[in-house]
A = this chain, B = another copy of it.
Amino acid sequence: MTSSSHHAPPPSGDRFASLTPLLMPRSVAVIGASSDPTRIGGRPIAYMLRQGFDGLLMPVNPNRQEVQGLPAWPSVEALPQAPDTAIIAVPAAQVLDTLSALGRKGTRSALVFSSGFSEVGGEGEALQQRIVAEAKRWNLRLLGPNTAGVFNANIGYYGSFASGLERGFPLPGRVGIASQSGAYAAHMLGLARARGLGTPIMASTGNEGDITLGDAIGWLVQSPDIDVVVAYAESVREPEGFIAALEAAHRARKPVILQKVGRSALGKRAALSHTASLAGDDNVFDALLGDYAVVRANSSAELLNLAYTATRRIYPVSNSLGMVTISGGAGIIVSDAAEELGLPMPPMPEPAQVALKEKLSFCSPINPVDFTAHVLNDLALAGYFTTRLIEDGGYRSVLAFFSQAGTVPSIAPRLLAELTAVKRAHPDRLFVISLIGDATQNQPYEDEGFVLFEDPTQAVAAIHAMGRLGDAFARPLPVREAQPPIDLPAGRLSEAQAKALLAEFDIAGVEERVLDDAEAAVAFATQVGWPVVMKIASADIAHKSDIGGVLLGVASPEAVREGFATLLERARLHAPAAKVDGVLVARQVQGAVECFMGIQHDPLFGPFAVFGLGGIFVEVLKDVTLRRCPFGEAEALAMIRSVRGAPLLFGARGRPPVDVQALARMLARLSEFAWRAGPGLASVDINPVLALPEGQGAFAADAVIETCEVHHAP
């Protein structure tokens, strides 16, 4: 147990500093303290007595003078001092009075184990609102209700009743746990212990009446005792706090390894029946995380793998992988995995290949570099080859496959010495060894800071994730400054209004005009060039093609005249109540690739821009990409490149490449429009966007903007 004198809280004045009394208390009251160490009010005391809480522990129980050997107080009022935090283990009905008493006493934080609040709905929901209001009244930060609690093993503090702690307390280390599920927090703790990973601080947020997952993450990343945070999330309830936490993590260069569940329809159903809260749109969430140093783990095994690797605090920028191996087979496995993840494994430079061949004629010197099991008979080669790999190949990450051979007693000490010399000479490289050994055999490698994996495929995944974190830390945080808002017209916008609004953001429509007489239409068509498109112009007819209100390929003056009459007739017939402004005539752009751009407003995180190719790509293949607004052209270009159909924009099938720069500009400007339009903008659909060949631009052929009323909080 490390003494608390070495552990410091985050800087005061910070938005997360108010959690310090909760997570690093110097004095703790247990309300509803029990003499039975297996009961919910007894467990925290038993755990703290076993682990030696480094502060003042004050049981409160009206019926006892002593609890588990400690002097007990009859009430909150009777306590000799205001505690930094209070553990509340009384029935739900007594929580409100308890909080009042704690507030009056000057208590700064509390956690409520008790259940029977919002998770049961109805009256529980109302009761929760009352206790949260009471806590706010006293400026007391509240964790829960219905929380499994917190612990901080660095000071022996256990504000938790998790039965898993009976099986073992957390190991020393620098990984923090933040979780919306108490049971899953215990699961993560158990897995971490089983693989020797230290997770000294945990916060489980329960019903999140006050303190949210974002608060917990934010405090942890600012703690000098924590390097890496693992987090489990079902739904984010407070977007500002969550984003502030991710920004704090980025500034502190501490990664968040996040398991966000409810990705699938079935998962969302399970989440709904579990917490009665919606998991939200997973694509939106993924797009949000892309701005920060967060990697998402899809399983608890992956979560632990990544957290373990991250404890080395080496996050390669522009990552690349070089490998040395005693097994050609392992080299193929690693190559497959690297390519599938998009982790580059460029070949060694030619002269270096020649040098390696001279040293060991039957080696395979490209990358993976296969020095075969022969290296086990001549271990100096291990050091030589690995040095050449780093110095000549320049790889940011190194993977060495030694499997069981690396822990055979006749081999291990010399091998460790060889590899350690290389590692110390290149401390900035992420150095991973694929090794099979027991804890004792592995420890000397761990002590030198090597990352160890039995499975080379998992090693590649971890290396790739560290590179993604490195790139994320290297990117500046997105700046979302307030900009002059745009006033949106009220109600439904006509196509012309929508296009005019977008034109102010340089989002050009195709040359077009609304005309109210057929001869003017013929004249305009002659001016822009044949063929033309004709559409009924009415803000009241949203789905024009449903009533036959769109004519394509109109190719002659007679056809324009005929079309004019047809469209007005159809409007009269199928939408007699609609106010018709006339007929819109536009040049029919040919040879364009049809794309889709849009804005979708997320209730939590605001506007997101969507991009995809048009038609089947959007409708059948759901081949779209999202990004939180606003963003610049470089980000827009990255979005455009990321869709599966992108080759069609870059010249597949013998077509000329389209004007991707113009597309990117349009998308970036659209994101700016959405940002400035604010919550009054419900959605934008520009469909199709016509992308013309390079240098010829991109045009919005149709645009729909929907607005909504914004209810301001009183």
B270 touches A194 (CB 8 A): no
Contact residues of A between 332 and 373, Cβ < 8 Å to B: 332-340, 345, 362, 364, 366, 368, 370, 373
Q: Which residues of chain B have C-beta atoms less than 8 A from A189's C-beta? A: 404
Residue of B nearest to A411 (CB): B163
How distant is A122 from chain B, measured CB to nearest CB, in Å? Answer: 13
A149 to B334, CA, bound (A): 24
B264 touches A299 (CB 8 A): no
A269 within 8 Å of B by Cβ?
yes
A183 touches B403 (CB 8 A): yes
Residue of B nearest to A457 (CB): B299
B184 touches A330 (CB 8 A): yes
Q: Which residues of chain B have C-beta atoms less than 8 A from A264's C-beta? A: 335-336, 339-340
Q: Which residues of chain B have C-beta atoms less than 8 A from A455's C-beta? A: 191, 299-301
Contact of A336 among B232, B262, B370, B620 (CB under 8 A): B262
Contact of A436 among B190, B262, B335, B368 (CB under 8 A): B190
A186 within 8 Å of B by Cβ?
yes
Q: Which of A26-34, A571-579, A644-652 sits within the interface?
A: A644-652
Q: Known: A329-B184, A332-B261. Is A648-B120 also a contact (CB below 8 A)?
A: no
Q: Known: A403-B187, A404-B167. Is A616-B648 also a contact (CB below 8 A)?
A: yes
B300 touches A366 (CB 8 A): no
Q: Known: A187-B404, A454-B194. Is A269-B652 also a contact (CB below 8 A)?
A: no
B-facing mask of A237-252, CB < 8 A → 1, else 0? 0000000000000000
A269 to B345, CA, bound (A): 11
Q: Interface residue count for A (Cβ, 8 Å)?
A: 88
Q: Which residues of chain B have C-beta atoms less than 8 A from A270's C-beta? A: 328, 331-332, 334-335, 366, 368
A616 touches B653 (CB 8 A): yes
How distant is A535 from chain B, measured CB to nearest CB, in Å? Answer: 19
Q: Which residues of chain B have C-beta atoms less than 8 A from A615's C-beta? A: 653
A403 to B185, CA, bound (A): 11
Q: Known: A266-B338, A403-B190. Is A301-B458 also a contact (CB below 8 A)?
A: yes
Q: Which residues of chain B have C-beta atoms less than 8 A from A652's C-beta? A: 616, 619-620
A331 touches B274 (CB 8 A): yes
Q: Known: A269-B366, A338-B266. Is A329-B232 also a contact (CB below 8 A)?
A: yes
Q: Which residues of chain B have C-beta atoms less than 8 A from A89's C-beta? A: none
Contact of A274 among B183, B301, B370 (CB under 8 A): B370
A409 to B163, CA, bound (A): 11
A183 touches B267 (CB 8 A): no
Q: Which residues of chain B have C-beta atoms less than 8 A from A458's C-beta? A: 299, 301
How distant is A219 from chain B, measured CB to nearest CB, in Å? Answer: 21
B619 touches A345 (CB 8 A): no
Contact residues of A between 1 and 45, Cβ < 8 Å to B: 38
Q: Known: A457-B301, A645-B620, A645-B621. Is A187-B653 also a contact (CB below 8 A)?
A: no
A259 within 8 Å of B by Cβ?
yes
A187 to B333, CA, bound (A): 13
B271 touches A327 (CB 8 A): no
Main secondary structure of the interface of A (DSSP, over half): helix
B-facing mask of A375-417, CB < 8 A → 1, else 0? 0100000000000000000000000000111011111000000
A298 within 8 Å of B by Cβ?
yes
A331 to B187, CA, bound (A): 13
Contact of A403 among B164, B261, B457, B619 (CB under 8 A): B164
A144 within 8 Å of B by Cβ?
no
Residue of B nearest to A279 (CB): B332
A265 within 8 Å of B by Cβ?
yes
Q: Which residues of chain B have C-beta atoms less than 8 A from A186's C-beta? A: 403-405
Q: Which residues of chain B have C-beta atoms less than 8 A from A420's C-beta? A: none
Q: Which residues of chain B have C-beta atoms less than 8 A from A364's C-beta? A: 273-274
A456 within 8 Å of B by Cβ?
yes
B191 touches A436 (CB 8 A): yes
B340 touches A263 (CB 8 A): yes
A700 to B575, CA, bound (A): 44
Q: Known: A166-B408, A403-B164. Is A234-B266 also a contact (CB below 8 A)?
A: no
By CB atoms of chain B within 10 A, which of A301, A408, A615 has the most? A301
A330 touches B362 (CB 8 A): no
By CB atoms of chain B within 10 A, which of A194, A327, A458 has the most? A327
Q: Which residues of chain B have C-beta atoms less than 8 A from A644's C-beta? A: 620-621
A583 within 8 Å of B by Cβ?
no
B120 touches A362 (CB 8 A): yes
A457 touches B300 (CB 8 A): yes
Q: Known: A234-B329, A653-B620. Is A366-B273 also a contact (CB below 8 A)?
A: yes
Residue of B nearest to A183 (CB): B327
A267 touches B336 (CB 8 A): yes
A180 within 8 Å of B by Cβ?
yes
A300 to B275, CA, bound (A): 37
A454 touches B333 (CB 8 A): no
Contact of A298 among B164, B362, B373, B457 (CB under 8 A): B457
A670 within 8 Å of B by Cβ?
no
A114 within 8 Å of B by Cβ?
no
B301 touches A454 (CB 8 A): yes
Contact of A187 among B179, B187, B330 (CB under 8 A): B330
A652 to B615, CA, bound (A): 11
A330 touches B183 (CB 8 A): yes
Contact residues of A between 107 and 152, Cβ < 8 Å to B: 120
Contact of A266 among B194, B339, B438 (CB under 8 A): B339
A332 touches B407 (CB 8 A): no
How distant is A586 from chain B, measured CB to nearest CB, in Å? Answer: 23
Enumerate the 7 nearest inter-chain pairs by beta-carbon distance, A residue then B residue, closest first. A183-B327, A274-B328, A299-B457, A181-B329, A264-B339, A267-B336, A184-B329
Seed contacts A274-B328, A300-B456; 15 additional CB < 8 Å A-B pairs: A181-B329, A194-B438, A234-B329, A261-B332, A263-B336, A265-B339, A267-B339, A273-B364, A273-B370, A300-B455, A300-B457, A616-B653, A620-B644, A620-B652, A621-B644
List chain A positions with a Cβ less than 8 A from chain B: 38, 120, 163-164, 166-167, 179-181, 183-184, 186-187, 189-191, 194, 232, 234, 259, 261-267, 269-271, 273-275, 279, 298-302, 326-340, 345, 362, 364, 366, 368, 370, 373, 376, 403-405, 407-411, 436, 438, 454-458, 615-616, 619-621, 644-645, 647-648, 652-653
13 pairs, CB–CB < 8 Å, chain A vs chain B:
A38-B410, A180-B329, A183-B326, A183-B330, A234-B332, A266-B335, A267-B339, A273-B370, A274-B331, A274-B364, A274-B370, A299-B456, A301-B457
